[in-house]
Structure 1
Amino acid sequence: MSSAHGITPALLEQTLSATRVDAQDGTLPEVFHSLSSDTRSLQPGALFVALSGPNHDANLYVQQAVTAGASGILCSRPPAQSLPIPLWVVTDPLAAMTQLARAWRAHLSAKTIGITGSSGKTTVKEMLGLIVSSRYRTGITRGNLNNHIGLPLTLLNCPSDRTHLVLEMGMSAPGEIAHLAELAQPQIGIVTNILAAHVAGFGGGNLVSALRGIAHAKGELLQALPHDGLAVLPAIDPHLALLQSLTGCAILSFGPQSSGADVVFTPPSYGDDGMLSTLILPNGERFALNLPGFGPHLWLNAVAACAAAYGLGLDAAAMQEGLSRFKLQKGRGSVEHGQVGCRILNDTYNANVGAMRVALEALSHMAPAPQRIAVLGDMLELGEAADTLHAELAQTILALGIQRIFLAGPHMAALYQALQSSPGLQLFHYADPVALAKDLSHYVGHGDAVLVKGSRGMRMERVVEALHS
């Protein structure tokens, strides 16, 4: 029915109500070596699942999948011509893939860790993956495949010889984490934080109510944990008590040393290339750690990963070994060097209110520079509270002493207005990042530190590209 190396045709047919169209030569592969929904990254021997969306018909890519080396097709409409590989026809390929992932998860014996939160999910996933894989055969979510499509794909591409599985879980509405957790069946759940992200999906008008809604939605992961499981929670989050109330299993908290959490980090020091701190575990073990970048939030991510690793029985040596290999991904707080000799803090992947504040704090920690320049794009999906939340960033900017600010997008007009009366600022506002990028190079010099950040939809990486050209 199944193989250590992947999904078999027998498992597929026993799991799904599917009509099979045999290959021209009548043969079936023994096993599908992977599963893919994208012909551009499909590996030979894969089962191709034709997932159509509102703007594309994936059934049209079946022939491309064959050319790329697929050994089977799962689709909703067979092509007119016969194929040299077997094909299964189902009413809904996404539902079929989800059902197949559920069956494959039942075959896996891996200890599973689920990670959710408003920010830091991907970083914690990478950090924990590095720690656990230093001792065990570990499956890890690739990239940010963390939704109702990505998580089933991750499960289906996990070989059965993996002893541990580290899964990222994202959401934009209630019920989505519950669905992912039901598929993943985690024994350990990490909530990184609760911030004003995807507020529009939770009413958006009343921010306090929306944040509680987000906490409940993220907490669906905690409700899915078994009684002998482990919840890893942020000690300094205002919603800690609410999160604690959602689980009946053991809890480990993480935070700065001042929080009194179970796993903590000491106040970090900052150098030219990164940060240094000491991490302390519940059993008293401690170890020094250097991290790249300048974001203090990275220490929260590190102790969250270490708390989960501690729950798995790993020691400080494994944690130090794994985290010593951590590198920032491009666009997630990575430091780059621009054409004019400036240093760019590239945090363009995405943005919410909390993440914007910690990015500004990271800019303030960069080694002395002639100028510290903040280049900020709109934070999206904040609903009716959007302009208020943008304007409130003024307090952070003024407290940190950042004096040259470039803003892009209609919502950033609210921040522009909030800062206009503040003396000593050089303040600029543009309709979009393209217009901003054309002017920015005239204001940036050798040695300057430049933060570039905004929501994914703003595509602030275009500003970074301009600084490199």
Structure 2
Amino acid sequence: MFSAEQIASITGGRLDADPQILVAGEAVLDSRAAVPGSLFIAVVGENSDGHDYAQAAVSNGAALVLASKPLPGIPSVVVDDVQLALGQLAKAHLAELRKAGDLRVVGITGSAGKTTTKDLIGTVLSSVGETVFPAGSFNNELGLPLTVLKATADTRYLVLEMGASAPGDLTYLTSIAPLDVAVVLIVGAAHLGGFGGGIEDVARAKAELVQGVLEGGKVVLNADDLRVLAMREQAAGEVLTFGAVRNTTFQATNTEIDPLGRVHFDVTDARTGASERVQLGLVGEHHMTNALAAITAVAALGVPLADAVSHINNAKALSPHRMDVTEREDGVTIIDDSYNANPDSMRAALKSLAVVAGRKRRT
């Protein structure tokens, strides 16, 4: 909860409102989502200007508007850069929560699998304590701060997806939300155009997540991807690895794909020797990497292997358009993987389609 005066102070903005106004609700980008006490973020986009909807947001209950130009008659804080100011607010909010309680922050990056891994980690941690994790891919300079601002004094775990389209993106995001656990999945061809030099530049950018871990924090790396595994050299604290290769902290063995395209495998914790059978309900062999990452990440926070696997085996697709399978009454199977994908995730989706169809069904 911030007062209008505090928001102006944190962001360096000009206060055009009663200083004592309290923002006790969520920060929102859509005026239709505003409720009493909300903070409306007036973002100028490619096709619309949030300032045009400021009055509607206030009519719906928003207590204050964060704006980049004056809004006469509307309670607001006017800043030079709304996106930057939103990040400053989220950073201040998280810092206060850390002072007040035992909050742990998990960040996930990778060229594919971020959203599913985030959902799996959030599902497991929700069984342990109050957990905040976003629906969908709120992983950029706007989405991540909005997620951070959802956390409250009761939140024990904050699970954040962190995307990178260019060098420096993850450094910025981890400056807002420094991590207790950093998870790196794969280095692939996503966003190559933003990195310029090629796949090694992507790897360097993803490694920024490892550098954003707090003292005493842990790093979780995919040992099946040598570019990811090499990031262990940049980790200041404990590193936990996962994969199908040997000498990992959490190793997958005895992998099988059932006729519905769901992956089953044994996972063994090298630290304790404990082993469990993972039987995913999610479609796609590539989800083995996501499940292993989630198991390793929650282990870094003290969740026993058996508990983690139990919840992951029961997990459903939470975020829309990610390998969501629907069986129609006429016998047609629809696999909806229509989110904004990249070559690596498209390859995985097409492989899953071939497995599910086998040689018996037309695709």
TM-score, with length taken from structure 2: 0.90
Q: Describe the shift of the 1:293–1:133 C-alpha distance in structure 2 as closer, same or farther (beyond 3 A).
A: closer
**CA distance in structure 2 between the aligned counterparts of 1:56 and 1:351, rounded to whole angstroms:** 25
Number of the residue aligned with 1:264: 251
Q: Describe the shift of the 1:293–1:130 C-alpha distance in structure 2 as closer, same or farther (beyond 3 A).
A: closer
| Alignment-mate amino acid for residue 297 of structure 1 | H
Number of the residue aligned with 1:11: 6
- What displacement does 1:227 show? 4.5
Q: Aligned match of 1:64 in 56, 59, 64?
A: 56
Gaps of 5+ in 2: none
- What displacement does 1:98 show? 1.6
Q: Aligned match of 2:268 in 263, 280, 304?
A: 280
- What displacement does 1:241 show? 4.5
Q: Aligned match of 2:210 in 222, 226, 243?
A: 222
- What displacement does 1:347 show? 1.8
* CA displacement 1:259-294 (0-9 Å, x = unmatched): 442112231241447443332223222222321243
Number of the residue aligned with 1:420: none
Between the two proteins, the alignment pairs up a number of residues equal to: 356
Gaps of 5+ in 1: 1-5, 204-208, 374-469
CA contact (8 A) 1:236 1:259 kept: no
Residue 308 (str. 1) matches residue 318 (str. 2): no
Q: Describe the shift of the 1:272–1:286 C-alpha distance in structure 2 as closer, same or farther (beyond 3 A).
A: same
**CA distance in structure 2 between the aligned counterparts of 1:139 and 1:279, rounded to whole angstroms:** 27
Q: Aligned match of 1:248 in 229, 233, 236?
A: 236
Number of the residue aligned with 2:354: 364
| Alignment-mate amino acid for residue 363 of structure 1 | L
For residues 365-404 of structure 1, the aligned pairs below 5 Å read 365-366=355-356, 368=358, 370-373=360-363
CA contact (8 A) 1:215 1:242 kept: no
Number of the residue aligned with 1:173: 166
Number of the residue aligned with 1:319: 308
CA contact (8 A) 1:263 1:279 kept: yes
**CA distance in structure 2 between the aligned counterparts of 1:243 and 1:108, rounded to whole angstroms:** 29
Number of the residue aligned with 1:337: 327
> Tell me, what secondary structure is at the counterpart of 1:146?
coil
Q: Aligned match of 2:33 in 41, 47, 55?
A: 41
- What displacement does 1:369 show? 5.3
Residue 143 (str. 1) matches residue 120 (str. 2): no
**CA distance in structure 1 between the aligned counterparts of 2:260 and 2:51, rounded to whole angstroms:** 52
Q: Describe the shift of the 1:93–1:201 C-alpha distance in structure 2 as closer, same or farther (beyond 3 A).
A: closer
| Alignment-mate amino acid for residue 93 of structure 1 | V
| Alignment-mate amino acid for residue 230 of structure 1 | K
> Tell me, what secondary structure is at the counterpart of 1:366?
helix
> Tell me, what secondary structure is at the counterpart of 2:226?
coil
Task: Please tell me whether Structure 1 or Structure 2 has the larger radius of gyration of its CA atoms.
Answer: 1
Q: Percent of pairs identical after alignment?
A: 33
Number of the residue aligned with 1:425: none
**CA distance in structure 1 between the aligned counterparts of 2:145 and 2:275, rounded to whole angstroms:** 37
- What displacement does 1:233 show? 0.7
* CA displacement 1:35-87 (0-9 Å, x = unmatched): 1121132233201121113443221111110122212222123334x24xx32
Q: Describe the shift of the 1:293–1:322 C-alpha distance in structure 2 as closer, same or farther (beyond 3 A).
A: closer
| Alignment-mate amino acid for residue 29 of structure 2 | S
> Tell me, what secondary structure is at the counterpart of 2:213?
coil
> Tell me, what secondary structure is at the counterpart of 1:215?
helix
**CA distance in structure 1 between the aligned counterparts of 2:279 and 2:178, rounded to whole angstroms:** 34
- What displacement does 1:338 show? 4.7
User: For the aligned residues, what is the CA RMSD?
Assistant: 2.2
Residue 201 (str. 1) matches residue 190 (str. 2): no
Q: Describe the shift of the 1:30–1:40 C-alpha distance in structure 2 as closer, same or farther (beyond 3 A).
A: closer
**CA distance in structure 2 between the aligned counterparts of 1:268 and 1:306, rounded to whole angstroms:** 18
Residue 211 (str. 1) matches residue 206 (str. 2): no
- What displacement does 1:7 show? 2.9
**CA distance in structure 2 between the aligned counterparts of 1:230 and 1:273, rounded to whole angstroms:** 33
For residues 127-138 of structure 1, the aligned pairs below 5 Å read 127-138=120-131
TM-score, with length taken from structure 1: 0.71
> Tell me, what secondary structure is at the counterpart of 1:101?
helix
Q: Describe the shift of the 1:142–1:293 C-alpha distance in structure 2 as closer, same or farther (beyond 3 A).
A: closer
Q: Describe the shift of the 1:246–1:343 C-alpha distance in structure 2 as closer, same or farther (beyond 3 A).
A: same
**CA distance in structure 1 between the aligned counterparts of 2:133 and 2:105, rounded to whole angstroms:** 10
**CA distance in structure 2 between the aligned counterparts of 1:125 and 1:295, rounded to whole angstroms:** 16
* CA displacement 1:297-351 (0-9 Å, x = unmatched): 1111011011111111110233034314421244211222357522122222133
**CA distance in structure 2 between the aligned counterparts of 1:321 and 1:197, rounded to whole angstroms:** 32
| Alignment-mate amino acid for residue 12 of structure 1 | I
